[in-house]
Structure 1
Amino acid sequence: MTKIYSLEEIDIVAQEILNISELKKVITFNAEMGAGKTTLIKALVKHLGVKDNSSSPTFSLVNEYETENGEVIYHFDLYRLNSEIEAYDMGIDEYFYSGNWCFIEWPNKTPNLIPIDHASISIKVLENGKRELTINN
């Protein structure tokens, strides 16, 4: 699926992503800094039923959210990660294989730890300020 959207349409895009048949629960987000990865993840988390404010886990590497029905969602920002060993030592593989939603920013920091069976979202900022999103499930 490829979609061009403005930030004002982020909620619609998030719902369209979640409506994808058999969407994988581990999703990587690939984009340059400031392209809107965290903004899209916030919208996804909201549509999944999280009422608390969500934010980027830049300093903690992972934020955990709970939906209204008790489902757990993990949001990773691996930008500050120094090595895959550091990620492995924090037990990142247990998160990835937990069966819970895992939204992963900067997955290129742990290429050997990302499950083979995952979805991938790429976001590109267009000259007019809109975003081009491509998802591979």
Structure 2
Amino acid sequence: MEPIVIDSINELPMVAKTLISSFKGKRLFAFQGAMGAGKTTLIKEICKQLHVIDVVSSPTFAIVNEYTTTTGDFVYHFDFYRIKTIEEAYDFGYEEYFFGKGICLIEWPEVIEELIPEDTVMIKIELLSSGSRKFSVETF
């Protein structure tokens, strides 16, 4: 997939729709980018497009937030920023989420890199000097 560059947050719905339609059937999406790059903001828009009925917020302290869609499907939103050891991911049972049902949206995947399954869609968000944001996508 070619990188997507946007100049305004108003273009995020287009980015979310493109990601959802391009990777229909995929369950695992990982978001990389510097603090403030827009990972949580993009995830909020993806959840909106998926018709999540819950309030979407960063799970920085909870590690994972569970959301439900209007069709009863589950979306899991992870933030591994505060994980200090890989054992913490094992302790809360990451396998049940990553290898179960539902869509997983993962912030800070580099913290638990060795646990990220191969079929994960990796989305890198870069804040450009112009203030634009660049979204690059890799699949494995």
Per-residue deviation, 1:117: 1.3
Structure 2 CA distance, aligned partners of 1:113 and 1:86?
12
* 1:88 corresponds to 2:110: no
Can you list the C-alpha shifts for 1:18-47, whole angstroms capped at 9, x where unaligned? 110545210110100000000000000110
- The equivalent of 1:101 in structure 2 is 103
Aligned to 2:48: 46
Determine the C-alpha separation between the residues in 1 that align with 2:52 and 2:24: 21
Return the offset for 1:99.
2.8
Q: 1:30 aligns with which of 29, 32, 57?
A: 32
Q: Which amino acid aligns with 2:30?
A: T
Amino acid at match of 1:77: D
Mean Cα deviation higher: 100-109 or 21-30: 21-30
Percent identical: 44
- CA deviations over 1:50-73 (Å, ceiling 9, x no partner): 122201000100000000000000
> Could you tell me whether the CA contact under 8 Å between 2:37 and 2:125 is conserved in 1?
yes
User: Which AA in structure 1 matches 2:59?
Assistant: P
Q: Which amino acid aligns with 1:110?
A: I
Q: What letter corresponds to residue 65 of structure 1 in structure 2? A: Y
Alignment of 1:62-77 (within 5 A): 62-77=64-79
Residues 29, 86 of structure 1: CA spacing in aligned structure 2 closer, same or farther, 3 A cutoff?
same
Choose from 115, 118, 130 the match for 1:116.
118
Deviates more, 1:38-47 or 1:5-14: 5-14
Asked whether the 8 Å contact 1:27–1:121 carries over to 2, the reply is yes
Structure 1 gaps of 5+ residues are none
- One-letter code of the match for 2:99? Y
Q: Distance in 2 between matches of 1:76 and 1:132?
A: 22
Consecutive unaligned residues of structure 2, counting only runs of 5 or more, are none
CA contact (8 A) 2:73 2:102 kept: yes
Does the 8 Å contact 1:15/1:44 carry over to 2? yes
- Alignment root-mean-square deviation, CA: 1.1
Q: How many angstroms apart in 1 are the aligned matches of 2:120 and 2:48?
A: 21
